[in-house]
Amino acid sequence: MSQRSSGFGWFILLVAGLAVLTFIFRPPAPAETGTDPAALAEARKATGGAQTLEDILARQRGEEVDLSFRREFGQPGADPDAPLALAPLGGASDPDLWRALRYDAADVNVSAGGDVAKVLVQDGGMAWYEFRKGPLATYGGWLLIGTIAALAVFYLLRGRIGIDEPMTGRTVTRFQAIERFAHWLLAGSFVLLGLSGLLTLFGRFFILPTFGPELNSQLLIASKFVHNNLAWPFMLGLVMVFVMWVWHNIPDRTDITWFAQAGGIIGKNHPPAKKFNGGQKIIFWSVILLGASISLSGLSLLFPFELPLFAKTFGIVNQTGIPQWLGYGALPTDLAPQEEMQLAQLWHAIVAFVLMAIIIAHIYIGSIGMKGAFDAMGSGEVDEAWAHQHHSLWLDEVKARQAKDGKTPESGATPAE
């Protein structure tokens, strides 16, 4: 029986090649410009440490300005008679108060609303907003477009992966009804969650200027409903799929062979595989780990301010010493409630973009990319020729089990006597 590569290895090679080319031909970083921080600090001596016009202009030019001096809020209680003191507030002044509010350092008391209401000016809001509409939307969007483009190129080069041997007419059950139910519960909700998430992120940039605010508004209202409520079937599907398939996705020796042949790229033989091959195991663990991470950050967003995740996580990460080792310094562990939400939103979107790219490839290979693949999740029955080509070890297991149970495979053909 001749065997042929599934093409998955070629696809991985193509994606890796495109990633390398993208890195090599990335646009040059803009030349660093900016005012000398020492000069700015020197100029502040003339104002007693207060910011100068040059500080403000530098910020307006978008330059990085060390703002630590603005967090020094005077000296409350200092002798008001001392030279240069700011009587009658002692060493403190009204601008100190405003700056303390600005940097969330003021001692604010509120009668209702808790810690959330104590934050009167949330400094991280702009950074979140700029990141969301800038790098997140840009790189996220290009990741999805790049994935689709890579698949289109792959399809043009490789075409649809066929079944080399003639169809036998005998089928084996690849997935039981409950497995397919869980898959489609997960898949249907993920697709709708992905689309509604994309509308939420990109609606303002593309739909609003093209179709107007009414349509964008209606789509956003619908997206919010979909996103809030389809989260539950997604999480249920994720748990079901994990429970049913985790056993089959534990890495084993067959994966070494599969990866050694890069899914068929090296050599002419299609590597033998059990129920799930090495590539499918990558998909499975991506879905489980990234899906769980998306679910966690999603729950944090679904119940605002109730499930803060990042301050604790950053504390644990800091203890490993990795951020410090990488030169980032310790990650912040004293986060405002709003910052927790902003980080949850960004993490949710970043991980979702990665998973969407993976799932686009999964949808491709499970539909137009490979003949016979959809049957596995459609009817659940696959032809023995397909099973032998892609999951030969699993087919052997199924046949051995059938022989032991005295069952014959489902077939319209008469078995050989």
Partner 1 sequence: MKAMLSGFAAMILLAVGAWYGLNEMKFSSADKQTGVNVRLD
Residue range at the interface with partner 1 (CB under 8 A); choices 68-76, 248-256, 339-347, 372-380: 372-380
Buried b (16+ CB within 10 A) or exposed e, 176-206: eeebbebbebbbebbebbbebbbbbbebeee
Q: How far is CA 329 from CA 7, 77, 241, 320, 325, in A?
A: 43, 33, 39, 12, 8
Helix (H, G, I), strand (E, B) or coil at 89: coil
What 8-state DSSP symbol labels residue 31?
P
Contact call for residue 161 and partner 1 (CB under 8 A): no
Interacting residue with partner 1 among 14, 97, 144, 236 (CB under 8 A): 236
Question: What are the residue ranges of helices labelled H in 176-277?
Answer: 177-202, 208-211, 213-229, 231-245, 253-260
Measured from the CB atom, the residue of 143 and 236 that comes closer to partner 1 is: 236
Lookup result for tokens 């994935």: 147
Which range binds partner 1 by CB under 8 A, 179-187, 245-253, 263-271, 381-389? 179-187
Options 19-27, 232-240, 311-319, 392-400: segment touching partner 1 (CB under 8 A): 232-240
Contacts with partner 1 in 31-60 (CB under 8 A)? Answer: none
Q: How far is the CB of 228 from partner 1 (least distance, A)?
A: 7
Residue 121 to residue 98: CA distance in whole angstroms: 10
Assigned token pair, 56? 């403000």
Cβ neighbours for 195, distance < 8 A, ≥ 6 positions apart: 223
Nearer to partner 1, 227 or 281 (CB): 227
Rule CB under 8 A: is residue 380 a binding residue for partner 1?
yes
Fill in the per-residue mask, 264 to 303: x = in contact with partner 1 (CB under 8 A), - = not in contact: ---------------------------------------x
Reduced to 3 states, what is the DSSP secondary structure of residue 91?
strand
Distance of alpha carbon 261 from alpha carbon 269, whole angstroms:
9
Residue 378 in contact with partner 1, rule: CB under 8 A = yes
Asked whether position 90 contacts partner 1 by CB under 8 A, the answer is no
Instruction: State which of residues 65, 182, 219, 351 lies at the interface with partner 1 (CB under 8 A).
Output: 182
Residue in the block written with tokens 């879905």: 287
Nearest approach, Cβ of residue 225 and partner 1 (Å): 7
Alpha-carbon distance of 116 to 104, in angstroms, equals 11
Task: Tell me how far apart the alpha carbons of residues 216 and 224 are, in angstroms, rounded to a whole number.
Answer: 12
Binding mask 191-220 for partner 1 (x = CB under 8 A): -x----------------------------
Regarding 187 and contact with partner 1 (CB under 8 A), the answer is yes
* Cβ atoms of residues 227 and 199 within 8 Å: no
Stretch that binds partner 1, among 8-16, 173-181, 265-273, 364-372 (CB under 8 A): 173-181
The token pair at 341 is 């939400």
| Structure tokens, 84 | 């240069």
Q: If binding means CB under 8 A, how many residues of this protein chain bind partner 1?
A: 29
| 180 counts as binding partner 1 under rule CB under 8 A | yes
- 183 part of the interface to partner 1, by CB under 8 A: yes
Return the structure tokens found at 18.
């495109």
Stretch that binds partner 1, among 34-42, 138-146, 228-236, 400-408 (CB under 8 A): 228-236
Site string for partner 1, 106-125 (x = CB under 8 A): ------x-------------
Give 188 or 323: the residue with its C-beta nearer to partner 1: 188
Residue 303 burial class via C-beta count within 10 angstroms: exposed 0-12, middle 13-18, buried 19 and up: exposed
Sorted by sequence, the CB contacts under 8 Å of residue 374 that are 6+ apart come out as 366, 367
Residues at the contact surface with partner 1, assessed by CB under 8 A: 112, 177-178, 180-185, 187-189, 192, 225-226, 228-233, 236-237, 303-304, 377-380
